[in-house]
């Protein structure tokens, strides 16, 4: 069956936000807290001073909590709520388009839970993210290799 879902939301994701989200996915895949922190600071709108130690600890908490769990036990709505809470606690406001994306993902998770409760949205999303990031990882790797070779000379 095909289901059509009208989120009642509309927005676009800029190339810079896509790049930052891609960096965040790479940070998760490599468990790189510093890269995640840089990505969050790059996309976030600062509302005040940032305590980088607290932000680092919050990201470390997320990584240690969620990266050790099987995908089937992670509720994306809970994870995204914690990300939003961490942003607020650290004086960071998420851009409107990212907030719309998060709301859409939470809605999709709810619809999937109604239609087919045995499916986990992350089990669908992760292979897609891996396949799309593979293409973007190679240029990064090539740049890294090229830069490394330049320093060796």
What was the pLDDT predicted at 107?
83
Confidence of residue 18 (pLDDT cuts 50, 70, 90): confident
Tens of pLDDT, residue by residue over 98-110, are 888 888 888 888 8
Tens of pLDDT, residue by residue over 61-84, are 999 998 887 767 878 888 888 888
Q: 10: helix, coil or strand?
A: coil
Tens of pLDDT, residue by residue over 48-66, are 999 999 999 999 999 999 8
Give the whole-angstrom CA distance, residue 40 versus residue 5: 29
What was the pLDDT predicted at 55?
96
**Dihedral of alpha carbons 5, 117, 80, 78, sign:** positive
Calculate what percentage of the chain has a pLDDT beyond 70.
Answer: 75
What was the pLDDT predicted at 142?
52
Residues pairing with 92 in the sheet: 46
CB 71 within 8 A of CB 120: yes
Contacts made by residues 128-132, CB under 8 angstroms, sequence distance 24+: 129/25, 130/29
Write phi, then psi, for 117 (nearest 5 degrees): -60, -20
What was the pLDDT predicted at 91?
96
Confidence of residue 113 (pLDDT cuts 50, 70, 90): confident
- Say what the alpha-carbon torsion angle 35, 36, 37, 43 is, to the nearest 10 degrees: 110
Please determine, for residue 153, whether its predicted confidence score (pLDDT) is greater than 50. Answer: no
Give the whole-angstrom CA distance, residue 12 versus residue 137: 23
Please determine, for residue 120, whether its predicted confidence score (pLDDT) is greater than 80. Answer: no
């Amino acid at each position: 069956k095909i289901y059509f879902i009208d989120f009642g939301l509309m927005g676009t994701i800029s190339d810079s936000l896509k790049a930052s989200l891609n960096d965040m996915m790479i940070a998760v895949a490599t468990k790189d807290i510093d890269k995640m922190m840089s990505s969050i600071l790059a996309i976030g709108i600062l509302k005040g001073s940032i305590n980088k130690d607290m932000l680092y600890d919050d990201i470390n908490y997320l990584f240690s909590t969620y990266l050790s769990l099987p995908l089937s036990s992670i509720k994306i709505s809970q994870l995204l709520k914690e990300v939003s809470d961490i942003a607020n606690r650290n004086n960071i406001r998420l851009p409107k388009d990212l907030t719309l994306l998060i709301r859409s993902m939470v809605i999709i998770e709810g619809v999937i839970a109604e239609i087919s409760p045995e499916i986990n949205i992350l089990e669908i999303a992760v292979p897609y993210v891996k396949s799309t990031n593979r293409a973007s990882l190679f240029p990064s790797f090539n740049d890294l290799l090229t830069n490394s070779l330049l320093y060796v000379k």
